[in-house]
């Protein structure tokens, strides 16, 4: 019976297999995160292009509203001038009707100016909100792309370390198994060397017994042969 036991190499197997699993994980997850941030960056670029188009449209719209506001203000000034002229003149027949028409027209122009101002304010507010949102998305995208590059570099470094740990584990595992195999071969050779002399002695004894039995059978055969058949 062998006087040694098989080596307990569970730690080295854990180092080898675990190192490979961790190395693969350190490569896959950072790459997936980097790919995700790249897609988010492309979406942010598309949103930025849309924002630039919206900004140009809003700027043109604000310019148009400003022109309409100046036109309405000029019209209001003209109407106010006519109203002042009528109020300062003599009370001619029908002047009260013209005054009412001018005042009604002035009120309508004032409402138009207020509507233009409200529209301009809403556009400016929407433009400011979209500008802040675009800036926020750009900042987030920049930070995530920076973080993804850092995570990718750290993942590659961790993967190299895990591969090194795995190599050490498999190396020690192989050394222990090779040592165990050598010891097993040596033990089998020693056991075979111990049993060979006994086998040789048994074989010689068997051969001697067989030879003696053959001689005995030959002597019995000679004694059983008749004398007439014996040669003269």
Torsion, CA 143, CA 149, CA 153, CA 158, rounded to 10: 70
The token duo for 188 is 């089998």
Render pLDDT for 85-134 as a digit per residue (tens, 0 to 9): 877 765 555 567 787 888 888 888 888 888 988 988 988 898 888 888 88
Domain ranges of the chain: 11-169
Give the confidence band of 150 by pLDDT, cuts at 50, 70, 90: very high
Query: Please, which residues have CB within 8 angstroms of residue 98's CB and are 6 or more apart in sequence?
Result: 86
Angstrom distance (rounded) from CA 63 to CA 71: 12
Write out the H or E segment, with its range, that includes residue 22: helix 10-88
Supply the DSSP string of 159-224, one letter for each residue.
HHHHHHHHHHHHHHHHHHHHHHHHHHHHHHHHHHHHHHHHHHHHHHHHHHHHHHHHHHHHHHHHHT
Task: Decide: 184 and 1 in contact? Cβ < 8 Å.
Answer: no
DSSP state of 128: H
Q: CATH says 11-169 is which class?
A: mainly alpha
pLDDT at 94: 52
| Closest-CA residue to 15 (of 150, 117, 167) | 167
Render pLDDT for 4-55 as a digit per residue (tens, 0 to 9): 445 555 777 788 888 899 989 988 998 899 888 888 888 888 888 888 888 8
Task: Decide: 158 and 29 in contact? Cβ < 8 Å.
Answer: no
Give the confidence band of 161 by pLDDT, cuts at 50, 70, 90: very high
């Amino acid at each position: 019976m062998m006087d040694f036991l098989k080596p307990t190499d569970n730690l080295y197997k854990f180092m080898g297999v675990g190192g490979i699993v961790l190395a693969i994980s350190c490569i896959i997850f950072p790459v997936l995160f980097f790919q995700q941030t790249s897609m988010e960056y492309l979406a942010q670029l598309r949103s930025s292009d849309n924002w630039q188009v919206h900004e140009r449209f809003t700027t043109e719209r604000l310019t148009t509203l400003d022109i309409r506001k100046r036109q309405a203000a000029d019209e209001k000034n003209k109407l106010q001038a006519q109203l002042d002229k009528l109020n300062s003149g003599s009370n001619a027949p029908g002047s009260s009707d013209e005054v009412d028409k001018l005042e009604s027209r002035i009120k309508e122009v004032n409402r138009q100016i207020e509507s233009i101002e409200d529209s301009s304010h809403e556009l400016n507010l929407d433009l400011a909100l979209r500008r802040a949102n675009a800036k926020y998305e750009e900042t987030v995208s920049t930070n995530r792309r920076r973080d993804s590059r850092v995570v990718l570099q750290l993942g590659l470094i961790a993967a190299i370390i895990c591969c090194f740990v795995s190599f050490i584990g498999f190396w020690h595992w192989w050394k222990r198994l090779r040592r165990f195999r050598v010891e097993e071969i040596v033990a089998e050779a020693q056991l075979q060397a111990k049993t060979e002399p006994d086998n040789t002695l048994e074989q010689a004894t068997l051969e001697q017994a067989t030879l003696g039995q053959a001689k005995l059978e030959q002597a019995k055969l000679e004694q059983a042969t008749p004398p007439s058949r014996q040669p003269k």
